[in-house]
Structures are given as structure tokens and as C-alpha cells.
Amino acid sequence: MNKIIDVKQEATPFVKWAGGKRQLLSQIEKRLPPKFNTYIEPFVGGGAVFFYLQPKKAIINDLNEALINVYVQIRDHVEELIGAIILLDEKINQDKQEFYYKARELYNTKLLTHTYDIETAALFIFLNKHCFNGLYRLNRKGLFNVPYNRSVRPSYVKENLFCVSSQLQAVKITCGDFEGICQKAKSGDFLFLDSPYAPIKEDSFEAYTKEGFAEEEHRRLERVFRGLTDKGCYCMLTNHDTPLIRELYGQFNYEVVPVKRMINSKADKRTGFEVIVRNYE
């Protein structure tokens, strides 16, 4: 069975992502199963846990087509992608706000036409770096609508993108609903489940794709979690500590841990609590 490699490479997340788990990495690491076969992450997002653990055999997945396109382009065409980002960075230095909104409009056109290529990936990384607070948000029409953050700093770190590309070479990258990828798991595999958050309040904004993740989706995920448990998979799940999440997972190994939320624009709302749920000791 595979264990996490001892020597970690330099690969780190290439985008800032709402709900990212950088703040919880030490808490997650101490709660990992001692060994496992394949690492599976159905809601990969920015990939903080994946890049930190550097598993030898992995499957990563997300429902966000634009995000998964970036992973694929970094894996398969990293040099061409870097060249495309360089062109964008040169233009933002010249025209700043005007160019940002032109780039955002072009990106939205690509989303509407389902065009997922190197340029779309470059725009994704560029907009993530130059949008307000690094928040990836789509409106009800499925369009990216976050305003400019007035920055002209570089959108990427060349060495990191090459390290990310190297780490992804042996990784299976898929795009789709979480249940489909979970069905592929086998006994002895380890699944890290970091779904969209259950809202703390009814008016909380927790949807970072136009599809959202309603209460029924959380209940469906809990059914999948139990099915994976019966199959003999190791499962770890993270979320807000809410009545719904306690109802769904309270019978498992349920631990509450403090966390900082650096993506929140209000400093007094950057602290909170999350849960780490495991189906093993």
C-alpha cells in the first residue's frame, strides 16, 4: 500500500480558492490514515491538501470545468500556458483596470461557449490573481463577476508551475459530479472530501459555481460517505460546524477545530470553526 512520500517537493496551490485548506494542513496531516492505496479528492478546488501530501497515486476531480481545465493545461502544456500568462501580465501593467475588464469579458465569452483551452486557463489564473480578494465567483448566469483589485503583480511563479506540472504527471484528472468519482474508490483508498460549505446562516453565500450545493446535496454526500465506509475506504470530510453537518456526521469521529478565513474582506470575520470528520480512528 502507498504511503505519502517523505520528501515534499515545492509544488503549492497556483490559485487562491474560497474554502481552501491551507490553514488546516497540520490538523489534517496528524489525522491521516497510516497508509492507503489511491488518494482521491472529489472536490479538489485549489488543491492545498493534495499538493501538501504529494501522494504517489491520486485522482483529483471537480465539477468546475474551467478549474479542471487549468489543471490539465498545467500538466500537459505548462510552457505554453506560462507564455500566455506572460502576455496578460504585460498588458495589465500597461492598461490596468481597462485591461482587467477586457480580460474578464473574454473569459466570460469562453465560459459561455464552453471553450476550455490554454488561453482560458491563462485567463483563469490571471483573473484569480487580479480580482478582489482572490474570490472565484460566478453569477446566476454562470459568468465571472468579481471586480479588479488594482494589483499589477505577476500572476504566477514560474518555478511553482513547473513543480505543479511535474506533480500532476501521474495524476488522473477528471471533471464531474462527486458521486461518480467516489464510486470508483476501492477498499483501502483514501478520500478527502472538502465539499462546498454548509451555510452558517440562511443568507450566507457559499456557492462558488452557478450550480451551488444545496442541503439535499449535503445529504447525498452523507449517503456516499456511508457507502464508502461500508466499502472499506478511509474517508475524511471537512466543513463548517453547523447543525446540519452535526446531524449528518455526528456518529462518526467528529472533531471541531479553529480556522482562519483569510479570504473574507472583513477582519473580524476571519476566524471560525470547522469540523474534521473521519470514518476511522
pLDDT confidence of residue 199: 81
Q: What is the rounded distance in angstroms from the CA atom of residue 90 to the CA atom of residue 72?
A: 24
Residues 148 and 203 in one domain: no
Query: Which value, to the nearest 10 degrees, does the dihedral of the CA atoms of residues 114, 218, 136, 193 take?
Result: -90
Residues 193 and 271 in one domain: yes
Among 14, 158, 151, residue whose Cα is nearest residue 93:
151
pLDDT confidence of residue 209: 52
- Please write the tens of the pLDDT for every residue from 201-215: 655 444 455 457 889
Does 79 reside within a domain? Answer: yes
Amino acid at position 185, single letter:
A
**Residues 252/258, Cβ–Cβ less than 8 Å:** no
Q: Range of 50's domain?
A: 22-63+176-278
Rounded alpha-carbon distances, angstroms, from residue 153 to 16, 18, 81, 90, 129: 14, 20, 18, 10, 8
**Residues 160/113, Cβ–Cβ less than 8 Å:** no
Residues 186 and 270 in one domain: yes
Does 117 reside within a domain? Answer: yes
Q: What is the rounded distance in angstroms from the CA atom of residue 23 to the CA atom of residue 55?
A: 19
Does 157 reside within a domain? Answer: yes
pLDDT confidence of residue 200: 74
Q: What is the rounded distance in angstroms from the CA atom of residue 239 to the CA atom of residue 204?
A: 14
> For residue 208, what is the domain's CATH number?
3.40.50.150
Residues 239 and 197 in one domain: yes
Residues 56 and 43 in one domain: yes
Residues 41 and 89 in one domain: no
Residues 140 and 265 in one domain: no
Residues 148 and 73 in one domain: yes
Residues 81 and 57 in one domain: no
Q: Three cell numbers at 95? A: 492598461
Rounded alpha-carbon distances, angstroms, from residue 193 to 47, 145, 203: 12, 27, 24
Bridge partners of 239?
275
pLDDT confidence of residue 135: 85
Does 208 reside within a domain? Answer: yes
> For residue 78, what is the domain's CATH number?
1.10.1020.10
Return left, alpha or beta for 185; rule: phi > 0 is left, psi -120 to 50 is alpha, else beta. Answer: beta
pLDDT confidence of residue 270: 57
Residues 28 and 46 in one domain: yes
Question: Which stretch of DSSP H or E encloses residue 277?
Answer: strand 271-278
pLDDT confidence of residue 261: 62
Does 123 reside within a domain? Answer: yes
DSSP class of residue 198 equals P
Does 5 reside within a domain? Answer: no
Q: How many domains does the chain have?
A: 2
Neighbours of 35 (CB within 10 A): 12
In this prediction, the residues of the chain whose per-residue pLDDT falls under 50 are 3-8, 204-207, 210
Return left, alpha or beta for 119; rule: phi > 0 is left, psi -120 to 50 is alpha, else beta. Answer: alpha
Residues 101 and 186 in one domain: no
pLDDT confidence of residue 205: 47
- Strand spans (E) along 116-218: 172-175, 190-193
Does 194 reside within a domain? Answer: yes
Q: What is the rounded distance in angstroms from the CA atom of residue 33 to the CA atom of residue 229?
A: 14
Residues 258 and 132 in one domain: no
